[in-house]
Amino acid sequence: MDESVTCTRRLEWDAMHRIPRHESKCAAFHGHRYAVELTLRAGLDDRGRVLDFGVVKSLVGGWIDANWDHTAILQRDDPEPAVRAIAESNARFGRPVYWMDAPPTAECMAIELARVARELLAPTGVQLVRLRLWETPNGSAEWVLGSEGP
């Protein structure tokens, strides 16, 4: 019998963003305590695991720490003049700005992180089947394998 099991690892970080053209408060710069749940599928290894949780933390968590934690996640073509000032300030403090081609909504960030996580986890042989990105304790976006679109 060919069985597979899933496991889920949660990671958390802090970052700021703004949503250009948002019709309410999210048009302003603001921060969140983000969290992500990554659900992975594979057959169990010889130790009875899909993948050691520490590997997920090291690979995906390491990428988050380097690119998204304590920084600004902004849209590349955001017309707000303060965006450039934030980028310059972050550079002075040794922190990047993460530039997205899409608005940094929870939905677009989930798609972006799923793309990155799939690349980072590919050498391990596990398959990312679900990613839920929490922007607030009561608001999240979910990416599911097979939902990448056309």
Question: Mean pLDDT of successive 10-residue segments in the chain (150 residues)?
Answer: 82 98 97 98 94 97 98 97 96 96 98 98 97 98 79
Report in angstroms the alpha-carbon separations of 74 from 16, 22, 32, 52, 106: 8, 13, 13, 32, 12
Give the C-alpha separation, 94 to 112, whole Å.
23
Of 7, 26, 32, 37, catalytic: 26
**pLDDT value at position 76?**
97
Known catalytic residue at 88: no
Is the Cβ–Cβ distance between 74 and 17 less than 8 Å?
Answer: yes
Please report the pLDDT score of residue 150 as a whole number. 43
* pLDDT value at residue 7: 97
Q: pTM here?
A: 0.93
pLDDT of residue 4: 78
Please tell me which residue in 17, 108, 112, 135 is annotated as part of the active site: 135
- In what helix (H) or strand (E) does residue 128 lie, and over which residues does it extend? strand 127-136
pLDDT given for residue 1 in this prediction: 39
CA neighbor of 145 nearest in space, from 53, 40, 4:
40
DSSP label at residue 126: -
- Domain extents in the chain: 13-144
pLDDT at 148: 59
Pick 13-144's CATH classification: 3.50.50.60, 1.10.20.140, 3.40.50.2000, 3.30.479.10.
3.30.479.10
pLDDT confidence of residue 138: 97
State yes or no: is 70 an active-site residue: yes
Which of the residues 70, 88, 119, 148 is marked catalytic? 70
